[in-house]
Amino acid sequence: MFVITADQVDSRRRADIVAPALETIGDRFSAHLALPPDRNAGDELQALTADAATALELILILTREGAWSVGLGLGEVRLPLPENTREATGDAFVAARTAVGRAKRAPARFAVEALRAGEPAADAEALLTLLLTLREGRTPAGWELFDLVSSGLTQAEAGARLGITPQSASDRARAAGLRVELAAIPALTRLLARADAAQADAPDARNAPDARDAQENA
């Protein structure tokens, strides 16, 4: 399962954005979430999904404006599920808590954690951070074109909608890294799915002999 914990940046000096974010996520992703998205710890939100594509899309939405520190936790979730996301527990929730803590100190404000198979989680974090870094440099004009192409328009159709020539649309798309991102999304979705699947087959690192020895000798 995928748990996303997002903490609002600079919440003490900015208006609360948790409520509108929860409404948007609930309206857009309700069919793909295991439970309704929930407020947690005042200025945090949490979402739970078994779908890698949904997890990735949520990450990209939440990180777009730099308004959130976003942590992704991978792993098992205790069943049966409660009525509310904030009441759910399990490895993925513990990992998400660690991840959002690291995300607050990360340049891209994003991190991935897992309690069992750590390497696949680290791989996912590294490659997703590359994409988020590319997106940080995208101009408003680039986002304008990206949103139209993402809605289903061809690049030429999007350019016509914006009143620019096909060559200008092509130049804008190249500067914005549109093709790079659109090509990366399916690969990153598969990477996240594999990283999550790896958790079920991996031993719990907390019970590994070296971890127990370290705890006993601490």
d(CA 25, CA 82): 19
Confidence of residue 90 (pLDDT cuts 50, 70, 90): very high
Q: What percent of the chain has pLDDT over 90?
A: 86
pLDDT, one tens digit per residue, over 94-121 is: 999 999 999 999 999 999 999 999 999 9
pLDDT of residue 212: 34
Average pLDDT, the chain: 92
Confidence of residue 6 (pLDDT cuts 50, 70, 90): very high
pLDDT, one tens digit per residue, over 22-63 is: 999 999 999 999 999 999 877 999 999 999 999 999 999 999
Token digits for 75?
A: 């792993």
Structural contact between residues 63 and 132, judged by C-beta atoms closer than 8 angstroms: yes
Token digits for 133?
A: 């870094």
10 or 12, which is more confident: 10
94 or 204, which is more confident: 94
d(CA 156, CA 176): 15
Q: Scan for tokens 């959002």, then name that residue.
A: 100
Checking 210-214 for CB contacts under 8 A at 24+ apart, the result is: none
Average pLDDT over residues 7-17: 84
d(CA 40, CA 137): 31
d(CA 147, CA 86): 32
Stated pTM of the model: 0.90
pLDDT of residue 206: 58
pLDDT, one tens digit per residue, over 169-194 is: 999 999 999 999 999 999 999 999 99
For the chain, give the number of residues: 218
Structural contact between residues 55 and 33, judged by C-beta atoms closer than 8 angstroms: no
pLDDT of residue 209: 46
Q: Is pLDDT above 50 for 215?
A: no
Token digits for 175?
A: 């500067």
